[in-house]
Amino acid sequence: MVKVNGQNFELAGKTVEAYLATTKYDKTRIAVEINCEIVPKSKYGETVLKDGDTVEVVSFVGGG
């Protein structure tokens, strides 16, 4: 199990990019953190999620 934003998902073995493809996140307006480390966007396709990982996906929102 991989915990994403507090919810458990069966994502072990999938890449960050594969996970994001199943979501509605705008990849240009998010940051992904795995186990308290930011993942560079250039590494999404090669970063494989492992059982026990904790992932936070943060969306940037504009406004004032």
pLDDT in tens, 10-60: 999 999 999 999 999 998 999 999 999 999 999 999 999 999 999 999 988
Please state the CATH superfamily assignment of the domain spanning residues 2-59 in this structure: Beta-grasp domain (3.10.20.30)
Q: Which pLDDT score, from 0 to 100, does residue 62 have?
A: 73
Instruction: Find, among 27, 52, 50, the residue nearest to 40 by Cα.
Output: 27
In sequence order, the β-bridge partners of residue 8 are 3
SS3 26: coil
Domain boundaries, the chain: 2-59
Q: Give CA–CA dist 59/54, Å, rounded.
A: 17
Of the pLDDT bands very low, low, confident and very high (cuts 50, 70, 90), residue 61 is: confident
Q: Buried b vs exposed e over 12-40: b needs ≥16 C-beta within 10 Å?
A: eebbbeebbeeeeeeeeeeebebeeeebe
pTM, rounded to two decimals: 0.90
